[in-house]
């Protein structure tokens, strides 16, 4: 049966790949993000390629009134969200705690933690009222470990990890599953955003190894969502073969 899937941050990377994956299995999609043109382009592609029913909602997850306005007034035929993928997020900057840019910290905390909470606060009650639903929180290997220069991003993803565990307890009696997804290196726009548009620096992150692609993470999320109702995968760390943990990678030199 068709599911209705809400994905935050569907304009690129993991979120876009998740949208395509669920479209392939004929599900209905609510895709969100800030870049309207990208959302419209993706919606057009999914409609023409897969015949997908798509609702586009353009908003910033940091803006609580906007989140409440858009998600709190979903058209009746779109209200029954079966799957929420809390994916919108970012790292900005890389530096020691005594030198960090506090605006960067605000962006990470506001997007990765508060944005995820604002979205969940609107959608979870809908799931509770229906007695079913599945929430995926895209955390990170940075939510399991901490690395030099990444304290604030790591802290924000540790918060997501804790929220996944807390949500799972709170929503247990309502029949709602919560899956925490903790990817390692995925080649998306992530590093371009982290390095504020410095594409040469972003490319070095993935040099000499084969990183994950958004599609790899999407495949895993789709698998978790396809399991029988009584089965819940709670937490998954997914890395490329060449990555052992947050700091150890094996790179081939030319
Ligand atoms: P991308 O930069 O490719 O995608 C990030 C998405 O988040 C975009 O669609 C962007 O949309 C959206 N987004 C960012 N800020 C906001 C905002 N304020 N409001 C609404 N949407 C927002 O990176 P990834 O696909 O890699 O990142 C997706 C998630 O995966 C993030 O939470 C990231 O932390 C996590 N992750 C990524 C890893 C990696 O190595 N790439 C590894 C582990 C976790 P727009 O700009 O249009 O608003
Ligand atoms: C993204 C993975 O290792 O760059 O969450 O923090 S990492």
Ordered by start, the domain boundaries in the chain are: 4-184+212-238
Determine the pLDDT at residue 253. 83
50 is catalytic: no
User: CA-CA distance, 13 to 7, in Å (whole number)?
Assistant: 12
Classify 67 as helix, strand or coil: helix
Widest CA span in the chain? 57
* Active-site position among 50, 153, 206, 223: 153
Domain spanning 4-184+212-238, CATH class: alpha beta
Question: Quick one: 173 exposed, middle or buried, by C-beta within 10 A (0-12, 13-18, 19+)?
Answer: exposed
User: CA-CA distance, 42 to 39, in Å (whole number)?
Assistant: 5
Using the structure block, give the residue that is written with the tokens 């990183």. 211
Determine the pLDDT at residue 24. 98
Ligand with an atom nearest the CA of residue 154: 2
Tell me the pLDDT tens digit for each residue of 129-139: 999 999 999 99
Determine the pLDDT at residue 254. 65
Residue of 141, 159, 161 with the most ligand 2 atoms within 8 Å of its CB, for mutation: 141
Element (H, E) at 235: strand 235-238
Classify 209 as helix, strand or coil: coil
Determine the pLDDT at residue 5. 99
Q: Is 142 a pocket residue for ligand 2 (Cβ < 6 Å)?
A: yes
Please tell me the distance between residue 141's alpha carbon and the centre of ligand 2 in angstroms: 6
* Chain-centre distance for alpha carbon 32: 11
Q: Which residues line ligand 1 (CB under 6 A)?
A: 8-15, 33-35, 60-62, 87-90, 111, 115, 138, 140, 183, 185-186, 188-190, 193, 214
Which stretches of the chain drop beneath a pLDDT of 50? none
Please tell me the distance between residue 86's alpha carbon and the centre of ligand 1 in angstroms: 10
Please tell me the distance between residue 189's alpha carbon and the centre of ligand 1 in angstroms: 8
Classify 150 as helix, strand or coil: coil
Q: What is the CA radius of gyration of the chain?
A: 18
CB 118 within 8 A of CB 71: no
Residue of 90, 150, 212 with the most ligand 1 atoms within 8 Å of its CB, for mutation: 90
List beta partners, residue 86: 137
Q: Whole-structure pTM over 0.85, yes or no?
A: yes
């Amino acid at each position: 049966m068709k599911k209705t899937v809400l994905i935050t941050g569907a304009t690129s990377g993991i979120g876009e790949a998740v949208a395509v994956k669920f479209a392939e299995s004929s599900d209905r999609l609510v895709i969100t993000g800030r870049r309207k043109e990208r959302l419209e382009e993706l919606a057009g592609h999914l409609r023409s390629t897969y015949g997908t029913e798509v609702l586009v909602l353009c908003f910033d997850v940091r803006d609580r009134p906007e989140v409440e306005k858009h998600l709190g007034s979903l058209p009746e035929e779109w209200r029954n969200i079966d799957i929420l993928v809390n994916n919108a997020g970012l790292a900005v900057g890389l530096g020691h705690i005594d030198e960090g840019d506090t605006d960067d910290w605000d962006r990470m905390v506001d997007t990765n933690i508060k944005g995820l909470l604002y979205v969940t606060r609107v959608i979870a009650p809908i799931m509770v009222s229906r007695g079913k639903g599945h929430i995926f929180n895209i955390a990170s290997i940075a939510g399991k470990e901490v690395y030099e220069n990444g304290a604030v991003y790591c802290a924000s993803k540790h918060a997501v990890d804790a929220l996944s565990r807390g949500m799972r307890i709170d929503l247990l009696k309502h029949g709602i599953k919560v899956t925490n997804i903790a990817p390692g290196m995925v080649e998306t726009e992530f590093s371009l955003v982290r390095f504020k548009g410095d594409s040469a620096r972003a490319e070095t992150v993935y040099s000499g190894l084969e990183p994950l692609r958004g599609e790899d993470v999407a495949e895993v999320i789709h698998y978790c969502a396809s399991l029988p109702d009584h089965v819940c995968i709670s937490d998954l760390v997914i890395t490329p073969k060449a990555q052992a943990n947050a700091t150890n990678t094996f790179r081939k030199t030319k």
